[in-house]
Structures are given as C-alpha cells and as structure tokens.
Amino acid sequence: MRMSQMFSQTLREAPGDAETTSHALLLRAGFIRQLAAGIFTAMPLARRTLTRLENIMREEMNAIGGQEITMPVVHPAELWQETERWYQIGSEMGRFKDKNLRDMVLGMTHEEVVTDLARKEIQSYRQLPRLIYQIQTKWRDDPRPRAGLIRVREFTMKDSYSLDADWEGLDKQYRAHYQAYFNIFHRCGLPVIAVKSDVGMMGGKLAHEYMYLTPIGEDTLLLCDACSYSANRQIAAFRKQAAPMEQPLPIEKVATPETKTIAALAEFLSIPASRTAKAVFMVAKVPEGQVTVDKLVFAVLRGDMELNETKLANALKASELRPAHDEEIASIGAVPGYASPVGIDPASLGYSDQTPLPLVIIVDDLIPQSSNLVAGANEAGYHLRNVNYGRDYTAHLVADLTAARDGDGCPRCGSPLRTVRGVEVGNIFKLGTRYSDAMGATFLDKDGKEKSIIMGSYGIGSGRLMACIAEEHNDENGLIWPVTVAPYHVHLVALVGKDSEETRQQADKLYTDLQAAGIEVLFDDRDESPGVKFNDADLIGLPVRITVSQRSLQQGSVEFKRRDRKEKFLVSLDAAISRAQQELDTLRSEIQAKVVPVPYED
C-alpha cells in the first residue's frame, strides 16, 4: 500500500479526550476514528491488524476442533425470555420492536441463539461433542464507555460454544480452551494471566478471565505469590480473622453524637472498627419468575470490612444494585448513619403500608462469629453496645459479602495477598445445563434416555485485544507492533528530493520485489520531508523500516532499522529482500518462543 493513496492520516496530537496511551496512539496513527461514545470505525491499518488477530483466533479454535459459523446480530426476544435473561438484564441490553411490533434484541452475546441451534440440530449422543465458534458484532449499551477500545458499546467478539454429552467432556473442552487462549494472547505478543472470576449474567458453574496487567485496568485482582492463587476481586475469597468468641453481654444504649461513620464511631468509643457492625442499604432488582421486583437490602458486615457488591448481587441473584435513598431507609424504621437490624422485624419482608419495598436482611458470614458488637440504635445520636447476631436479630441470608484487600490471607495457604489492576481480554465459562435446561436442548444417550446438552462459552473481544497490545507495545515515539499482528511487515521510506529520480525508481523496484517475496509493505511515497516520514513510521510502528535515500544508494545499500531497537545498519540492495525476511523470521521466532504450555489452575 502506498501512503499517498491510503484512506487515513496521522495526527500530530491526539484529541484532548484520549484517556490512555493506546487510545491516543491509535487515534494519532490513523488506526481508529470515533463515531459516538463507545462506537468506533476501524480504519484500514486497524482493519488489517484486527484481521490478523482474528485469523490467529481461527487457527487456535480450528486446532481444538472448532467449526466456524455466523449467527445473527438481531434475535427474537422469545429466546431471551425462555432463559429469563430478558427480565434479568438491565438497560445495557439493546431492545427494539420490528415493524410487526415483535420484541427484538441486539445480540450482546449468543448463548440463546446457539442453544436454539443445538436443540434443532442435536438429537443423539453420536453428534456430541461439538465445538462451534463465530467472530461477530455485539452490542452492549455500556453507560460508561472509556479508554478508547478498552470499554465500548459496539464491538467484535470471537465467541465459541462447546456442546457435550457429559461433564467430563465439558472439562476437556474447557481445558482445551484454557490453553488455546494462552496461545492466542502469546502469539499476539500480549502477556496475560488467568484468574477465577464471577459468572455474572452468563451463569453456570465456573469462569476464568484472562487479564492483561496494567494500571489502566478497571478490574482489581488478588494474587498469591506463594501458591499461585488468583481471582478477580469480585469473587476473591480470603481468610477472615474472627475475633475470640465472648459470652453475650446485655445490650446497652449509649449516646454517640455526630458519629455517622464507622471511623467516627470507633474514635468516639475508643474501640477498633472490628468491634462495630456496619449497615449498608441497597435497592436490588431481583427476578421473580417473568418479572423483576425492587427489594430494599439491609446488609450488615463488620466495621473493618468493605462490602463486595458482586458477592451481594450473587447472593441475592440480583441483576442490578443501587444505593438506597434516605426515605427508603427510613420507611423500615431505620435511621441513616445510626441503623441496625435490632428492632426491625424480618417478617416485614413483603409489601405493606409501612414498607413500600420488600425488605431483605443479609449479613456477612463473619457477623455470626463476632460477639458484642456496637451497632446503630435506629435513633439519631445513639448506638447499642453488645449486639449479638441470633439473640438480638436474625437475617434472611448469611453469605460472604466482603471484599478481599491487599495483605489479607490467601484462602489456600494463608500468605498475604497482593492486589494488581488488569483489563479483561478474554473469558471462559462452564455453562453446564443453564441454557439447555431452560430451552429444552436435549439429546438421547446410549440408553435412549433424554438428557440436557452440557455447554461451555468462551469469548475474546478483538478490538479490546488490539488496544491492549497497543498499550503494551509502545514508546515515546509511537506504536511498536509485534510482527504477528502488525498491519504490514515493512515500512518502506523513500527520501526523494528534486534530483532523486534514481532513488524513486529504486524504491519503486524494492517495493515491487518485497511484495513478490510475500512481504507486506507500507510504502511512504509521499512528497514529505524526511522528518515527517520518520516520525510517521515510528508512530505507526511496523516491525522493520527500510529507507531508500540518495546517500545510501551511493554505497549500493539501503538502511534497515527494527522498530524495537535504536541501531540502524546498511544492507546491500542485492541482499535487501533476504535480510528483510531474516529480520522478520527472527521476530516471529521471538514471539513463538513465548507460546508454551500453561499449567491449568481450577
């Protein structure tokens, strides 16, 4: 491709709203252009890189038995209603009506569609196992798109789906994907780790996320260096330190003016935060059959702990959570800043004149192990000493509700956990029979008995992957693409002045010869200064730069430079093609050396 003909241009500066290095560089280098919040056009250079990424995905999926299909972007709502996700997923789902007023869905994922396919195509155990995949557009109306391609609303995803007759088959396909995903990311030059994660709206038995560790990541991960435990903070377990059990003491009401926070209360009473009970109020959307109802959630945890909203949502099977308003809290007789479940009747669960919302009281599993805590008196300016779970109040649910933190004990070995930030670039789920049960996707086994197909789901977003590669591989001058995903292999630069017809001819010939040798070339044939051309070459970041100039030709040579190195060197014109192939082969070998087996962590 000649740059004089390319449908994109570089920018000297990125727009002011570019939040991350990858966002700024992909804009400046002419890879992407924004249409609306979270919606981007992939320009020619980006399209070539995305195609390379997607072809790597295809190769790895094919290697484990995958068959590529393409499923529709638009789905009848009836499919999503069968699994009840129509009622469980909030405003991020794209809903609309067709001209016949039928409810339709813009595909945010394809479990319903693939299950519908399976129930129509699979009748016998002889047709299992199967693995199908697609590379398709998705839509999720994320309220907070950010960081360029890191968090978007419209995106392309490779999603694969395994279909098995038994759980052993699912285990095998899950583990095959576990390694295949590492192969994909390593072939793309991206270092990742796999961590256990929340199954979220996908449901199922088990999930892993592939995380690129970076300060720009929105996810917090907990890692143990001693035993390799790893998990997203959303689900991370840790060893909770229960206080020594004491004999319950009589409740004592004490004046605690202006102590609406745990920190203020602990300081006023000269006690550690671990001797207090924290009240947190949320409103949860909880599915009940084919409707979703709002419930007021009264969560109680020890004062030195932090609420993990994902754990709370999972315990309640809630699709959404929001902080409760003061008037909602007051409706059950609680006082914001001085609240506790003491004196609040759990039987108030359900609608009544006094409680506009049904009430759910839920406590962290450390609360029943903690004696004589200080809790609110449901009266402004007062707290209660010596509150004990079971004697003074009960709850509808007891569950792990707290978030793991840096330094907490590893649940496996007890060593201190450490926190890091990361971006999720892929995920794998053991769906089990979550969808096949709901939609009647069954098969006849060897004994003629009808059984549900056992399923897995596995996804990688190609745009986010490209952005993370750009975030990992860059310097102060621009992008540095790994050879396996670079839009072109070689950036050919012709320094052509007024009296440089020979230079132009030699550059044109080299351009033709490189292409004939199977080397993909971006040829800067523009009438620009050397400084502009070199700056653009560094910004775009192709693996090898070859410069043809009058000075080099006087020595019968051209200048070579690898983008990831500072040194330049001359190569004779006759050897230019073979040297380019040699440099590219070296770069490919460096990438391939990173594609190694990774131990499976369940």
Under the banding of pLDDT at 50, 70 and 90, the label for residue 350 is very low
Instruction: Report whether the peptide linkage leading into residue 341 is cis, meaning its omega lies within 30 degrees of zero.
Output: no
Structure tokens given for 469: 């590669």
| pLDDT at site 349 | 42
Domain presence at residue 265: yes
| pLDDT at site 201 | 58
pLDDT in tens, 441-450: 999 999 999 9
| pLDDT at site 602 | 73
Domain presence at residue 6: no
Residues 35, 161, single domain; the answer is: yes
Q: Which residue has the tokens 């902080």?
A: 323
Nearest to 523 by CA among 488, 549, 498: 488
| pLDDT at site 290 | 72
Residues 549, 463, single domain; the answer is: no
| CA separation, residue 493 to residues 8, 332, 540 (Å) | 17, 73, 13
pLDDT in tens, 274-327: 999 999 999 998 877 777 889 999 999 999 999 999 999 999 988 889 999 999
Domain presence at residue 16: no
| The dihedral formed by the CA atoms of 70, 74, 77 and 80, expressed in degrees to the nearest 10 | 40
Residues 79, 179, single domain; the answer is: yes
Q: Is the pLDDT of residue 65 over 80?
A: yes
Decide: 369 and 390 in contact? Cβ < 8 Å: no
Domain presence at residue 476: no
Question: How many domains, in total, are found in the chain?
Answer: 3
Burial letters for 67-88: b for 16+ Cβ neighbours within 10 Å, e otherwise?
Answer: eeeebeeebbbebbbbbebbbb
Structure tokens given for 196: 């256990």
Percent of the chain whose pLDDT exceeds 90:
87
Decide: 71 and 114 in contact? Cβ < 8 Å: yes
Structure tokens given for 578: 């073979």
Domain presence at residue 114: yes
| pLDDT at site 175 | 97
pLDDT in tens, 220-240: 999 999 998 999 998 899 999
Local structure of residue 67 (DSSP, 8 states) = E
What is the domain extent for residue 117?
Answer: 28-190+429-471
The dihedral of CA 525, 527, 529, 531: what is its sign?
negative
Among 285-299, 324-338, 512-526, name the one with the lowest average pLDDT: 285-299
Residues 66, 151, single domain; the answer is: yes
| pLDDT at site 336 | 93
Name the average pLDDT for the chain.
Answer: 94
The span from the CA of 564 to the CA of 541, in Å, is 9
Q: Is the pLDDT of residue 346 over 60?
A: no
The span from the CA of 233 to the CA of 458, in Å, is 21
Decide the pairing of beta strands 544-548 and 490-494.
parallel
Compute and round to an integer the Cα radius of gyration of the chain.
30
Can you point out the beta strands (E) in 395-466? 397-399, 418-432, 442-444, 450-452, 454-461
Domain presence at residue 46: yes
The residue among 292 and 177 whose pLDDT is bigger is 177
Last residue in a domain, options 447, 471, 495: 471
Residues 441, 332, single domain; the answer is: no
| pLDDT at site 288 | 78
The span from the CA of 424 to the CA of 149, in Å, is 12
Decide: 551 and 590 in contact? Cβ < 8 Å: no
The span from the CA of 185 to the CA of 445, in Å, is 37
The span from the CA of 250 to the CA of 268, in Å, is 21
Domain presence at residue 2: no
Under the banding of pLDDT at 50, 70 and 90, the label for residue 61 is very high
| pLDDT at site 353 | 44
The span from the CA of 273 to the CA of 128, in Å, is 56
Nearest to 180 by CA among 423, 424, 426: 426
The span from the CA of 70 to the CA of 36, in Å, is 26
Domain of 363, CATH number, reads: 3.90.960.10
Residues 36, 164, single domain; the answer is: yes
| pLDDT at site 202 | 58
Burial letters for 402-427: b for 16+ Cβ neighbours within 10 Å, e otherwise?
Answer: bbbeeebbbbeeeeebeebebbbbbb
Decide the pairing of beta strands 291-302 and 359-364.
parallel
Residues 380, 462, single domain; the answer is: no
Q: For residue 360, which amino acid is it? A: V
Structure tokens given for 533: 């051309």
Residues 442, 501, single domain; the answer is: no
Chain centroid to CA 133 = 19
| CA separation, residue 47 to residues 139, 256, 302 (Å) | 19, 63, 51
Last residue in a domain, options 399, 420, 451: 399
Domain of 492, CATH number, reads: 3.40.50.800
Residues 540, 453, single domain; the answer is: no
Q: What angle do CA 192, 486, 51 make, to 5 degrees?
A: 85
Residues 272, 309, single domain; the answer is: yes
The span from the CA of 260 to the CA of 258, in Å, is 6
Q: Is the pLDDT of residue 60 over 90?
A: yes
Structure tokens given for 125: 């155990």
Under the banding of pLDDT at 50, 70 and 90, the label for residue 361 is very high
Helix axes 576-592, 167-187, angle to 10 degrees: 140
Q: Is the pLDDT of residue 390 over 90?
A: yes
Domain of 185, CATH number, reads: 3.30.930.10
Q: What angle do CA 117, 118, 124 make, to 5 degrees?
A: 140
Q: Is the pLDDT of residue 168 over 70?
A: yes
Q: For residue 329, which amino acid is it? A: I
Residues 157, 54, single domain; the answer is: yes
Residues 182, 36, single domain; the answer is: yes
Which helix (H) or strand (E) is 361 found in, with range? strand 359-364
Mean pLDDT over 541-559 rounds to: 96
Provide φ and ψ at 429, rounded to 5°: -130, 135
Q: For residue 528, which amino acid is it? A: E
Last residue in a domain, options 441, 471, 501: 471
The span from the CA of 163 to the CA of 453, in Å, is 6
Nearest to 564 by CA among 120, 189, 257: 189
Domain presence at residue 229: no
